[in-house]
Amino acid sequence: MTRFRLEDFALLEKSPTSAATLRAKIGEVLTSSTTARARVESVDPQTGEYRIVLQGLIDLEETPFDTK
C-alpha cells in the first residue's frame, strides 16, 4: 500500500480530479495516520453540497517496506 507523506497534501487540492482519485488519496491519508476523525461542517439538503473536515496525525516514522 502507498504511504502518504506530508508532501502529498498539495495533491489533495489539485482540481479537477476524479472522485476515484480523491477517494484513493484520502484513503492513503487515513491509513497512514495514527489518529483520525471527521467533522461534518455543513450539508445543504437542497443542493447536495457538503463540507467535511478531516483531522488527524500522520505517522511520520518510515517503515522498512516504505518505497517512497
Count the domains in the chain: 1
In a domain, 1, yes or no: no
> Sign (positive/negative) of CA torsion 44, 48, 22, 12?
negative
Q: Residue 63's pLDDT is what?
A: 52
Q: Which three cell numbers stand for residue 35?
A: 489518529
In a domain, 64, yes or no: no
pLDDT tens, residue by residue, 28-57: 999 999 999 999 999 999 999 999 999 999
In a domain, 67, yes or no: no
In a domain, 17, yes or no: yes
Domain that holds residue 23: 6-58
Q: What is the pTM of this model?
A: 0.73
- Between CA 4 and CA 16 the distance in angstroms is 20
- Between CA 3 and CA 9 the distance in angstroms is 12
DSSP-derived letter for residue 47 is T
In a domain, 38, yes or no: yes
* Residue with the three cell numbers 497534501: 9
Strands in the chain per DSSP E = 33-43, 50-58
pLDDT tens, residue by residue, 12-29: 888 778 889 889 889 999
